[in-house]
Amino acid sequence: MVLLFNVVLISCDKQKAKDDNINKEENKISVVKSYTYNQLKTFLNKNNNKTYVVNFWATWCAPCVKELPYFERIKKEYEDKNVEVLLVSLDFPKQVEKKLIPFINKRKLQSEVVLLDDVNENFWIKDIDSTWSGALPATLIYNKNNRKFYEKSFTYQSLENELKTILNP
Amino acid sequence: MKQIKTILLVAVATLITSAFTFKTDKGYKVGDTIEDFKLKNIDNSMVSLSEYEDAKGFIIIFTCNMCPYSVANEDRIIALDKKYKAKGYPVIAINPNDPKASKGDGFEDMKVRAKEKGFTFPYLFDEGQKVFPKFGATKTPHVFIVSKPNMKVEYIGAIDDSSRNADAVSEKYVENTVDELLAGKKPTVTKTRAIGCSIKVDKNAGY
């Protein structure tokens, strides 16, 4: 992920990358990818050997921010078990530059963060999961065999327990 | 000792029961009849729906000070009240959050925000969080349209189809529903969804 943003960064601003100390820039991001629901949907329905933990959150959502470290820890501790974490931000599109990007850099988030920018909430909330009322935070854990959705906050323990039920049903 | 054990057992049982009463599939459904409530308004008066003798129904909106999605919808809520109060469908706003779990959502904070924004409708405080679970509200903002005389739930969901950006709205769900009710029609859309902030409950309260 860091690498990907590096590529974006370098290709966007070659001159700057040359001038600046690349190491200094390495952990900072300057772009968050923005997806419509149709584009995001691919990431919610992958059919491979990996297990995906997808968290819907926003920088202004206090319970979301509180549980972010647990998702980061899952990413770190389950990376070798084929688990990937995706953080789908529902921040206001106008606040990406001002709030979301500085937040990611300040917290040094390692999981991939994307923005879901799609007005037709009434369609995609239901499409992501029929039980979701739309409240944040919410989390989807899935692989090709199992799929569970949670409209709730997690502790590290409860998140890991749920992940385990998907990994070893 | 035995008495303490009994008390503990009862406490645990109560905790378990209350945990289940807060599940999202509980609460009023479209077609249900709602119970009246009595909640404190920002002017310190107590408000019940039964006082609105001339109303044809209500646009009940669970909302709060601190949720950015609520804030993004404040002007739309004010506009709804301006448009529909005179037609018989006033807005009744209710803050469901426990201020202990959501700083800035206390009763005094509500008074300040209502004054700043010039709320034209009651802004009620769900003290003790007894009302929002009956509705099955899960987030702010969360709208329930109720018609009189049967106090029937006609619609549950979003204000419109673009909570984050008022300029991108293409369907005004609440307006459409109230217009249909005023015209004596059955609402065509009765359930919609939008992103919102989870309702904040105090963790120590045992929910």
**For A41-87, what is each residue's pLDDT tens digit?**
999 999 999 999 999 999 999 999 999 999 999 999 999 999 999 99
Express each pLDDT in A6-44 by its tens digit: 444 444 444 444 444 444 556 789 999 999 999 999 999
Residue B18: inside a domain: no
Run of H or E including A109? none
Express each pLDDT in A109-168 by its tens digit: 999 999 999 988 999 999 999 999 999 999 999 999 999 999 999 999 999 999 999 999
pTM above 0.90, yes or no: no
* Residue from the list A61, A125, A151 with its beta carbon closest to the beta carbon of B197: A61
Place of tokens 């189809």: B161
* Residue from the list B102, B158, B199 with its beta carbon closest to the beta carbon of A121: B158
Q: Report phi then psi at B58, rounded to 5.
A: -140, 145
Residue B122: inside a domain: yes
Mean pLDDT of B49-61: 98
Residue B1: inside a domain: no
Residue B158 near chain A (CB below 8 Å): yes
Residue B8: inside a domain: no
All residues of chain B having their beta carbon less than 8 Å from the beta carbon of residue A62 are 102
Q: For strands A147-150 and A138-142, give the pairing.
A: antiparallel
DSSP string, chain B: -HHHHHHHHHHHHHHHHHHHHT-TT-S--TTPBPPP--EEETTS-EE-GGG-TT-SEEEEEE--SS-HHHHTTHHHHHHHHHHHTTTT--EEEEE---TTTSTT-SHHHHHHHHHHHT--S-EEE-TTS-HHHHHT--EESEEEEEETTTTEEEEEE-SSS-SS-GGG----HHHHHHHHHHTTPPPS--B----EEEPP--GGGT-
Side-chain-side CA neighbours of residue B193 (13 Å): 19
Express each pLDDT in B108-127 by its tens digit: 999 999 999 999 999 999 99
Beta-carbon separation of B195 and A134 below 8 A: yes
How many structural domains is chain B composed of? 1
Residue B169: inside a domain: yes
Express each pLDDT in B122-136 by its tens digit: 999 999 999 999 999
- The domain that holds B165 is classified in CATH as 3.40.30.10
Beta-carbon separation of B158 and A136 below 8 A: no
* Residue from the list A60, A93, A133 with its beta carbon closest to the beta carbon of B139: A133
Residue B4: inside a domain: no
Domain region containing B170: 24-205
A138 CB contacts (<8 Å, ≥6 apart)? A55, A56, A129, A132, A149, A150, A151, A152
Mean pLDDT of B50-72: 97
Quick check: bond before A137 cis, omega within 30?
yes
Beta-carbon separation of A151 and B138 below 8 A: yes
Q: Which two tokens stand for residue A71?
A: 């998702």
Q: Cβ(B173)–Cβ(B145) under 8 Å?
A: no
Cα B154 to its chain centre, rounded Å, is: 14
* Residue from the list B139, B195, B198 with its beta carbon closest to the beta carbon of A90: B195
Determine the 3-state secondary structure of A85 from DSSP: strand
Architecture of domain A32-167: 3-Layer(aba) Sandwich (3.40)
Chain A: residue nearest B191 by CA? Answer: A122
- Shortest distance between the Cα of B85 and any Cα of chain A, in A, equals 26
Residue B3: inside a domain: no
Residue of B17, B22, B14 lying closest to B132 (CA atoms): B22
Q: How far apart are CA B199 and CA A135, in angstroms?
A: 8
Chain A: residue nearest B193 by CA? Answer: A122
